[in-house]
Amino acid sequence: MIKRNLSSILIIIAMLLNILNFDFSNFNIESKKTWLFLCASAIIIASIILIFNTENKKKNKTE
């Protein structure tokens, strides 16, 4: 699993670091940092879905 999804796992780690660096007290929709936070959240969700889809396909092929 790790070798197949290494790039997705690294993307998730990078986006988590980006989200943890976000200051929620300055949430302004016009701010560039807010848009980076929202995009990082979307990328994390997409990467997690991609990992689950890949693992389910591999699991179904082996059965």
Q: What is the pLDDT of residue 30?
A: 92
* 27, 34 contact by CB (below 8 A): yes
- Domain range summary for the chain, segments of one domain joined by +: 6-62
Structure tokens at 33: 């940092």
Q: What is the pLDDT of residues 7-53, one digit of tens each?
A: 888 888 999 998 898 888 888 999 998 999 999 999 999 988 988 88
- What tokens appear for 63 in the block? 């059965």
User: pTM of the predicted model, to two decimals?
Assistant: 0.78
- Residue 47 class from Cβ within 10 Å (0-12 exposed, 13-18 middle, 19+ buried)? buried
Instruction: Tokens for 3, please give them.
Output: 């070798």
